Amino acid sequence: MSENQRIRRALISCSDKLGLVDFAAGLVACGVQIYSTGGTRKHLADHGIETIDVAEYTGFPEMMDGRVKTLHPKIFGGILGRRNNVDDLNSMQDESIQGIELVVVNLYPFEATVARPGVSREEAIEQIDIGGPSLIRAAAKNHQWVTVATRPEQYSAILSDIEDQGCTLPSLRRRLASEAFEMTCNYDQAISDYFRSEAGSGEFPANLTVRLERKSQLRYGENPHQKAAVYRIPRDSAASVVSARHIHGKELSFNNILDLDSALAIARSFSQPAAVVIKHNNPCGTATCAKLSLATRKALDGDPVSAFGSVLGFNRTVDSEAAEVLVEPGRFIEAIIAPDFEAGAVGILTTRPKWRDSVRLMQVGHISQASSEMSIRFLAGGALVQEADNLPAFHSQWRTVTDVTVSDALWDDIHFAWEMVRHVKSNAIVLGRDTGLVGVGAGQMSRVDSVEIAIRKAGDRAAGSVLASDAFFPFPDSIEAAAEAGIVAIIQPGGSRRDDEVIAACNQHRIPMVFTGARHFKH
């Protein structure tokens, strides 16, 4: 029997009824009989579409508040029967089983239900669909003869094929089957995630499934010869570059997205108005200030050479005053991410020469919420999974370990520098002055190299600055370099076997040093 078998009967049972009436009406116009249940049958009847009651067809009533409706051999036999198998066809004839060539099913809204504040366990359990996934899997398994629809977006292609030739093409059925199995897989994973989070064991699961939906394909990846796409986490409500609204400019590149993600991560870590400048996924300028425009200027002045062609992140709405700073002569910015942009700022950024055709503007909304509680890094053959390094600093654990204490005037810079160093690739050294980033040493194999690079980047601004290190100093040589540059305080985790030597070097140069007891490696 040909795979292109005419569609004569459809089973429709949907929680999401978007577009369902028009689709069903189109099926009826093509001579398709519709079998349906419960709320779906009533919905179609209310719109003048006649259906056959599944209970009437099976001779078995719905029961248990609708928990048992379609779980019957006359339904599953009609879906699973192989149209080229004599035994299957004889069984269907012997048991008066009608063939069902189209299954239109979507599932109870489990994820939407458990996302509601205060939802009870009983409510969540009642939204675990049993019959729906079974119908979808049966139809997808038998896609050689049966078409399965699981989303309203699929209806038009299915109806177009039926209108043209009375059946769907094998290529469409194969694609729909693949999408159906993806849906049931994601649905089961959402349920598993809910029960695991409810158990609250705090342990990493024995099996980890990462659920992602493709948002868009990119022009290319890190390099032009690499294909790339961006994916989003379903129903993730936290502000992110993936969920941001693209309000101006060209398509984002792979590297733009990486840099904007880093810019947003730093911006959200400050309570005061903050501006962040990212270049090659490291901060080359960051500042906080009472006014966003002042923070913007300080951030861009942190490393003006590196800031050219950078991306920026803000934790406040970009106003016209900050926009005027951005478009000053000699500046070029690839992309900007912020909670919002004032209309005047958008006008400035999108109409000034050299800006209107280049800068991308991303509106991300409220950004106080951290975007992830888990960090996953894929490796060849596996992955590393850890808790995200987004906990606030525990200031109560900090202690000054030198004879000379920290003056009150330096504490703002010490807090700023320590917050910044967690966002820099290790070995990480940052220099902060007046709550602005003035020097960065990142990604070096030797910590003393990072210190020297940060000091060189800061130039004259190193004098009077605070130095933060993401991990302990193994030797006092970095302290000698810091003292020579005029650095006035140091904050680091501590924990080296040579801590005493490092502390002694600070005491010798009258540099106060704070141990945090925590480190922030970022490999």
* Active-site annotation holds for 141: yes
Q: Provide the H-helix boundaries in 352-497.
A: 411-421, 447-458, 477-485
For the chain, the distance separating the N- and C-terminal CA atoms, rounded to the nearest angstrom, is 59
Cα 292 from Cα 273, distance rounded (Å): 5
> Across-strand partners of 363?
245, 338
Using only C-alpha atoms, the chain has a radius of gyration, in whole angstroms, of: 31
Q: Which of 141, 246, 250, 522 is catalytic?
A: 141
17, 248, 250, 280: which is the annotated catalytic residue? 280
Across the beta sheet with 9-13, the strand order is 52-53, 33-36, 9-13, 102-105, 147-149
Question: Within 10 Å of residue 126's Cβ, how many Cβ atoms?
Answer: 15
Contacts of 5 (CB under 8 A, 6+ apart): 83, 101, 145, 167
CA gap 361, 350 in Å, rounded: 9
Beta pairing, strands 282-288 & 274-279: antiparallel
Closest CA to 406 of 299, 491, 297, 499: 491
CA angle 130/135/137 to nearest 5° reads 100
Could you count the other beta carbons within 10 Å of the beta carbon of residue 290? Answer: 8
CB of 337 closer than 8 Å to CB of 314: yes
Q: How many DSSP H helices and E strands does the chain contain?
A: 19, 21
Is residue 17 part of the annotated active site? The answer reads: no
Half-sphere exposure of 99 (CA within 13 A, CB side): 17
Beta strand 489-492 pairing with 513-515: parallel
Instruction: Give whole-number Cα distances, 505 to 477, 481, 490, 516, in Å.
Output: 9, 11, 12, 18
Closest CA to 76 of 130, 139, 16, 133: 139
Runs of H (alpha helix) within 142-236 = 155-165, 170-199
Please list the active-site residues: 141, 280
